[in-house]
């Protein structure tokens, strides 16, 4: 086992599935530098929390970045719109699903970061930050 670069050690990234985001490139990292958890909207769900328990206790993650992004579909469409689009295109009724859409991106990000900070199954001392990645210019803004 070699020494890992300090900047890359123990980093977990929670981000959106949007294909405009290359999480490692976004941070100037390379494969192996970070554990990456993705879903629609970079939301901190039960499954993300479960994964973070494993990432922190078993894989050495000590810092977690939650990275939302500009022009995220999950933050611009309403629940009714998503349901209508899917039903119009497939005739499948998805009303029973919680898509965790975002009405206020900054507020949702703050709540999601707090969810991780207060999750009792994580080791003490985990550092968590919330960021917004601007897909138009590649800038990463630290929000919370
Ligand atoms: Zn997105």
36-58 pLDDT, tens digit per residue, is: 999 999 999 999 999 999 999 99
Alpha carbon distances (Å) from 37 to 15, 52, 53, 59: 6, 9, 12, 13
The total of other beta-carbon atoms located within 10 Å of residue 125's CB is 8
Question: Residues 82-97: pLDDT tens digits?
Answer: 999 999 999 999 999 9
Question: For residue 91, how far is its CA from the centre of ligand 1 (angstroms)?
Answer: 24
Question: What is the pairing mode between strands 63-69 and 11-16?
Answer: parallel
- Tell me which architecture the domain covering 11-142 has in CATH: 3-Layer(aba) Sandwich (3.40)
Question: Residues 2-21: pLDDT tens digits?
Answer: 444 444 469 999 999 999 99
Tokens of 38: 């993705």
Mean pLDDT for the stretch of residues 112-135:
97
On the question of pLDDT at 1 being above 90, the answer is no
Nearest to 67 by CA among 22, 31, 103, 16: 16
pLDDT of residue 110: 98
Question: For residue 67, how far is its CA from the centre of ligand 1 (angstroms)?
Answer: 10
pLDDT of residue 13: 98
- The order of strands in the sheet holding 63-69 is 34-39, 11-16, 63-69, 127-133, 140-142
Domain spans in the chain, listed from the N-terminal domain onward: 11-142
The answer to the question of whether 69 is labelled as a binding residue is yes
pLDDT of residue 9: 61
């Amino acid at each position: 086992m070699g020494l890992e670069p300090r900047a890359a050690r123990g980093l977990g990234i929670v981000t959106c599935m949007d294909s405009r985001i290359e999480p490692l490139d976004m941070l100037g990292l390379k494969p192996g530098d970070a554990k990456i958890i993705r879903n629609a909207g970079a939301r901190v769900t039960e499954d993300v929390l479960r994964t973070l328990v494993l990432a922190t206790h078993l894989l050495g993650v000590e810092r977690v970045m939650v990275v939302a992004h500009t022009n995220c579909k999950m933050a611009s469409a309403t629940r009714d719109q998503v349901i209508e689009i899917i039903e119009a295109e497939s005739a499948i009724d998805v009303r029973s699903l919680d898509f965790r859409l975002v009405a206020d991106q900054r507020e949702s990000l703050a709540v999601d970061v707090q969810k991780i900070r207060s999750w009792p199954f994580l080791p003490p001392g985990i550092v968590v930050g919330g960021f917004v990645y601007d897909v138009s210019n590649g800038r990463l803004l630290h929000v919370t």
